[in-house]
């Protein structure tokens, strides 16, 4: 009973392979099918159009109940109230590639005026997003971009260049522009970190930083234990080290923990990118004077205003257009429809208690 | 069926078992179908966005893979087996799809290759279960992890996109004039075939026999091992094909595609009234179960019900679906005892 069906399957497969050998749809033959890039070309922007009242916005984060995304979305929802709109947050409980699709379809059915999405997969969300745009729904991606032909604008939390350069500025302030520093990064091939480090090296070439010497880039692989050991290793190799820059939230916390418990406390400055909740203790006890991160609340707020500007016809997502974003002032759309949030926020003992994430 | 029942009982039983309206309606698959109708009507009257052909086609398309895999899963569960590796086979199939597409293969060649991979995956499951006599729950928990691991070996954490539009359309567009997407239309055809096999052929009866009493089925001359092996192979092939559908539908081949989907499939099968211990169930119930889960989810989403509440609703429904038939059976049993012969129950 079993043999015949198996033979049938094998035969069908063989036949199909044979048929396909005569020619088929391959990556190369279908290349031209996918170049539907100019999604926004047909629309016209009216920079003086007022923001419409009663706009319906929906935030679709990577997953709900993620503290970071909750801050972003709540700030966006509050922002929408300022211009007389209503916003809500919906989303899946897991951050898998496809879990956002059914939510997108639902939002299209509900005829929202704008969908704001932190995409789990830049391509998987593309189909429904295109459909949304074809129904005149404004599509704004934030935090994590969708493929660029599938959204109107992307709100980028911070430009890589600004992050890299400001890291050096902060460190220079902390050590009086003089001495040896090291970088504690994530993995050796992490795209984000490597770009930032390139800009840090670039910034160090400026004459005002001539007294600073970058002695080593260490990799803690975004693993708490390993980052801790790497910090220890750095200080054994360079006992006269003045500062450590850790452009990763795992690294900065591990470095601070090591310095906090060692004889180097107060002698070695730690800075980098961290979250206030994680770093609060070290800021309070003086181990860490300053660190940076973009403000997630402003990210959501800006996204909200961008969505309203598109839905009201003020902008279409083309490079060079400007729009007003409430208390953040005006923003200009850059290359590939990207809007940059601005320089990262510096956290220190004076402002850290205002942030809870 | 109690063996110690007195000789008098068999005479009384046929009369007790004659179809009476009340017990007829206690059948779970009938209840699920009724629930489905209630949800549909409730949705249609409660929200203007629900019963539109657009929304229904979205909801059905969303169910494509779960629905397809639920068919072989029904056959397996009826035969008192289970295949937990289905979602991993789907993921592995999607990863291979992506890798081959990236390497410049034609889709017309890739899909048959995926089906062959499905056959092999199913054979591994089936042979481990039938030749080594291992429980399918344990075997397929193992291969679930194994196949998912292989998917990551093939594609790593990257995603392959940019599939041709005509094939993507095949996975998302509806049959002209209906709100039924092509993958779901395929499901309907396969469901009819499966229903005929399960309820109108000797093979189908063999499955129920195996599920009810494997040893008895064996001694009755049913080729238990071969049939089970066939079921696992079919499950593998259908899951691999669902992987191709999934990949084209989302336009993104990834190793983590379909993560956790095996539970959604099994939930739909159980909700459809198939007994997890085997031997009982109808395909109609499963189709209703699949639709009920999908439409209910869609309806809750349209009403902005939080994800947590959605899971709670599905979870409770599932527990009720497993409990109700057992309670109904208990009720029937006690009633039969009372009716049968007073002397036996003393």
The predicted-structure confidence for B270-323, as pLDDT tens digits, reads as follows 999 999 999 999 999 999 999 999 999 999 999 989 888 988 998 898 898 888
Length of chain B: 346
Q: Which two tokens stand for residue B204?
A: 């189908």
The predicted-structure confidence for A135-177, as pLDDT tens digits, reads as follows 999 999 998 889 999 999 999 988 888 899 999 999 999 999 9
Q: Is residue B28 part of a domain?
A: no
B242 Ramachandran zone, left/alpha/beta (phi>0; psi -120 to 50): alpha
Superfamily per CATH, domain A160-293: Response regulator (3.40.50.2300)
On chain B, the residues whose CB falls within 8 A of the CB of A25 are 106-108, 164, 166-167
Q: Which two tokens stand for residue B299?
A: 């309806």
Q: Is residue B257 part of a domain?
A: yes
Scan for tokens 């069926």, then name that residue. Answer: B1
* pLDDT at residue B338, rounded to an integer: 79
| B62, B172, B226 member nearest A102 (Cβ) | B62
| A6, A19, A126 member nearest B108 (Cβ) | A19
Question: What is the DSSP-derived secondary structure letter of residue B85?
Answer: T
Most confident of A7-21, A218-232, B21-35, B182-196: B182-196
How far is Cα B84 from Cα B317, in angstroms, rounded to an integer? Answer: 21
User: Are the C-beta atoms of A291 and A246 separated by less than 8 Å?
Assistant: no
Fold matches, A56-157+296-341 and A160-293: yes
User: Are the C-beta atoms of B279 and B288 separated by less than 8 Å?
Assistant: no
B 189-208 → A contacts, CB under 8 A: 203
Residue A239 neighbours by CB distance under 10 Å: 11
By CB atoms closer than 10 A (0-12, 13-18, 19+), residue A222 is middle
| DSSP helix, strand, coil percent of chain A (3-state; round to 5) | 45, 20, 40
* pLDDT at residue A34, rounded to an integer: 42
The predicted-structure confidence for B165-189, as pLDDT tens digits, reads as follows 889 889 988 999 899 999 999 999 9
How many Å separate Cα B72 from the centre of its chain?
A: 7
Q: Number of structural domains, chain B?
A: 1
Question: What is the DSSP-derived secondary structure letter of residue A213?
Answer: E
ipTM over 0.90: no
Cα B39–Cα B41–Cα B42 angle in degrees, nearest 5:
60
Q: Do B112 and A16 touch (CB under 8 A)?
A: yes
Q: Do A97 and B252 touch (CB under 8 A)?
A: yes
CA-wise closest residue to B63 among B83, B36, B42? B36
Superfamily per CATH, domain A56-157+296-341: Response regulator (3.40.50.2300)
CATH number of the CATH domain containing B201: 1.10.3470
Residue B55 neighbours by CB distance under 10 Å: 23
The residue of chain A nearest to residue B58, with distances taken between CA atoms, is A105
Q: If you write DSSP's letter for every residue of B236-295 in order, what string do you get?
A: HHHHHHHHHHHHHHHTEE-TTTTTTHHHHHHHHHHHTT--TTSS---HHHHHHHHHHHHH
Q: Is residue B334 part of a domain?
A: no
Average of per-residue pLDDT across B74-94: 97
| B106, B230, B251 member nearest A26 (Cβ) | B106
How far is Cα B63 from Cα B41, in angstroms, rounded to an integer? Answer: 20
Average of per-residue pLDDT across A274-281: 92
The two beta strands, A241-246 and A330-332, are unpaired
Q: Is residue B245 part of a domain?
A: yes
CA-wise closest residue to A174 among A287, A301, A84, A337? A287
CA-wise closest residue to B17 among B343, B340, B346? B340
Structural domain span for residue B248: 48-328
């Amino acid at each position: 009973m079993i043999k015949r069906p198996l033979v049938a399957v094998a035969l069908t497969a063989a036949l199909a392979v044979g048929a396909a050998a005569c020619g088929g749809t391959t990556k190369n033959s279908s290349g031209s099918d996918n170049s539907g890039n100019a999604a926004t070309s047909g629309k016209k922007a009216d920079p003086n159009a007022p923001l419409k009242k009663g706009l319906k916005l929906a935030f679709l984060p990577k997953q709900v109940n993620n503290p970071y995304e909750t801050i972003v979305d709540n700030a966006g929802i509050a922002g929408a109230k300022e211009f007389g709109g209503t916003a809500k947050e919906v989303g899946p409980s897991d951050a898998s590639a496809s879990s956002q699709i059914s939510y997108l379809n639902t939002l299209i059915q509900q005829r929202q005026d704008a969908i704001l999405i932190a995409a789990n997969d830049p391509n998987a969300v593309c189909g429904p997003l295109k459909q949304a745009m074809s129904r005149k729904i404004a599509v704004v991606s934030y935090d994590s971009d969708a493929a660029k032909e599938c959204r109107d604008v992307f709100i980028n939390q911070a430009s890589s260049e600004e992050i890299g350069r400001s890291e050096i500025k902060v460190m220079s302030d902390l050590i009086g522009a003089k001495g040896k520093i090291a970088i504690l990064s994530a993995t050796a091939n992490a795209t984000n970190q490597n770009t930032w480090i390139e800009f840090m090296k670039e910034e160090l070439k400026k004459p005002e930083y001539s007294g600073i010497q970058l002695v080593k880039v260490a990799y803690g692989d975004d693993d708490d234990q390993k980052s801790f050991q790497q910090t220890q290793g750095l200080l054994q190799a360079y006992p006269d080290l003045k500062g450590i820059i850790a452009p990763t939230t795992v690294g900065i916390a591990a470095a601070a923990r090591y310095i906090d418990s060692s004889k180097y406390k107060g002698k070695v400055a730690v800075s980098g990118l961290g979250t206030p909740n994680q770093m609060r203790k070290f800021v309070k006890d003086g181990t860490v004077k300053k660190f940076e991160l973009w403000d997630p609340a402003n990210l959501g707020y800006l996204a909200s205003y961008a969505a309203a500007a598109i839905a009201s016809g003020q902008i279409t997502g083309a490079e060079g257009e400007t729009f007003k974003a409430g208390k953040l002032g005006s923003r200009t759309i850059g290359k590939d429809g990207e809007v940059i949030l601005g320089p990262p926020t510096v956290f220190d003992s004076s402002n850290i208690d205002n942030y809870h994430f | 069926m109690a063996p110690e029942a007195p000789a008098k009982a068999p005479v009384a039983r046929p009369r007790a078992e004659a179809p009476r309206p009340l017990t007829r309606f206690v059948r779970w698959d009938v209840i699920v179908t009724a629930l489905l109708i209630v949800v549909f009507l409730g949705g249609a009257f409660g929200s203007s966005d629900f019963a539109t052909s657009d929304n229904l086609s979205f909801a059905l398309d969303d169910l494509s893979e779960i629905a397809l895999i639920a068919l072989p899963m029904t056959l397996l569960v009826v035969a008192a087996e289970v295949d937990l590796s289905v979602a991993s086979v789907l993921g592995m199939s999607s990863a291979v799809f992506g890798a081959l597409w990236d390497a410049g293969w034609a889709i017309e060649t890739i899909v048959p290759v995926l089906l062959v991979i499905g056959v092999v995956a199913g054979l591994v499951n089936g042979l481990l279960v039938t030749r080594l006599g291992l429980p399918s729950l344990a075997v397929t928990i193992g291969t679930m992890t194994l196949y998912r691991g292989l998917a990551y070996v093939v594609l790593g954490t990257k995603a392959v996109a940019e599939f041709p539009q005509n094939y993507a359309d095949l996975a998302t567009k509806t049959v002209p004039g209906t709100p039924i997407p092509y993958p779901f239309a395929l499901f309907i055809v396969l469901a009819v075939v499966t229903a005929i096999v399960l309820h109108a052929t000797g093979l189908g009866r063999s499955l129920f026999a195996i599920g009810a009493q494997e040893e008895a089925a064996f001694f009755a001359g049913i080729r238990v091992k071969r049939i089970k092996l066939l079921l696992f192979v079919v499950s593998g092939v259908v899951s691999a094909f669902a992987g191709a559908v999934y990949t084209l539908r989302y336009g993104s081949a990834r190793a983590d595609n379909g993560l956790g989907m095996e539970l959604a499939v099994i939930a739909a099968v159980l909700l459809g009234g198939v007994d997890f211990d085997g031997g009982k169930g109808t395909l109609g119930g499963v189709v209703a179960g699949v639709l009920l889960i999908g439409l209910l989810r869609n309806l809750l989403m349209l009403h902005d019900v939080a994800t947590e509440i959605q899971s709670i609703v599905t979870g409770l429904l599932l527990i009720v679906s497993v409990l109700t038939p057992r309670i109904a059976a208990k009720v029937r049993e006690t009633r039969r005892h009372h009716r049968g012969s007073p002397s036996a129950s003393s």
